[in-house]
Amino acid sequence: MELNEPKLALVKRAPAVALADIIDTLQAAGNFTHLCVALKSTGLVATYREPGPFTFFAPTDAAFTALPIEILEALLGDKTQLREVLGDHVLRGRLRSADLSHGSVRTLRGNLVRLGASDEGLTFGTANVISKNVMASNGVIHAVDALLVARVPVSRENEPESPWAGKRQMAPLSQR
């Protein structure tokens, strides 16, 4: 009688698909074309190709087009301001939605942004997270429906100056 030795079955696994970096993932998605142009114009493409990891709250094309035209033009005309605005959409680390909770988070620029987490979904500042946990080789992307724009100076060259501009005086405390 022969002893039957167990045979190992070799199972071929499909090769692991390498994840693209944040920039390539945004470009492939198709609804971040304005963001990709903004990243390129500010010289941030190389930054988000680095190993990171980063958590990017990425404004969609609809988020850019929802901005009032004067704010959008002011942003696009001031690369430094645009770079700062984009930097406030990125956190250090690979934070999936399950890792995020209600509170404040510090952006790459060092500013605090309010994060809301509830059964209804996530918010990042004034933006709603509309798609979450898109994995990239150097981080994770959460798509948002608004651009976080705090105080973007708007050019008022064609607007007449108010007769009150620069003339406001505070009354002494005793007269208030």
The pLDDT score that the predictor gives to residue 74 is: 87
Residue 16 lies in a domain: no
Mean pLDDT across the chain: 79
Distance CA 85, CA 103 (A): 20
Distance CA 63, CA 127 (A): 9
Residues 6+ apart with CB under 8 A from 18: 137
Q: Across residues 67-91, what is the average pLDDT? A: 89
Whether 48 shows a pLDDT value over 50: the answer reads yes
The pLDDT score that the predictor gives to residue 143 is: 94
Domain that holds residue 38: 22-149
Q: What is the pLDDT of residues 111-164, one digit of tens each?
A: 999 988 877 788 998 899 999 999 999 999 999 999 988 654 444 444 444 333
Orientation angle between helical segments 33-41 and 22-29, nearest 10 degrees? 140
The pLDDT score that the predictor gives to residue 103 is: 87
Residue 71 lies in a domain: yes
The pLDDT score that the predictor gives to residue 17 is: 62
The pLDDT score that the predictor gives to residue 75 is: 85
Q: How many CA atoms lie within 13 A of 98 on its CB side?
A: 1
Residue 103 lies in a domain: yes
Residue 7 lies in a domain: no
How many separate domains does the chain show?
1
Residue 2 lies in a domain: no
The pLDDT score that the predictor gives to residue 18 is: 75
Q: What is the pLDDT of residues 12-37, one digit of tens each?
A: 565 556 788 899 999 999 899 999 99
Identify the band that residue 7 occupies on the pLDDT scale cut at 50, 70 and 90.
low
Q: What is the CATH number of the domain that holds 132?
A: 2.30.180.10
User: Both tokens of residue 91?
Assistant: 């956190």
Contact yes or no for 132/122 (Cβ under 8 A): yes
Q: Across residues 75-100, what is the average pLDDT? A: 90
Whether 69 shows a pLDDT value over 80: the answer reads yes
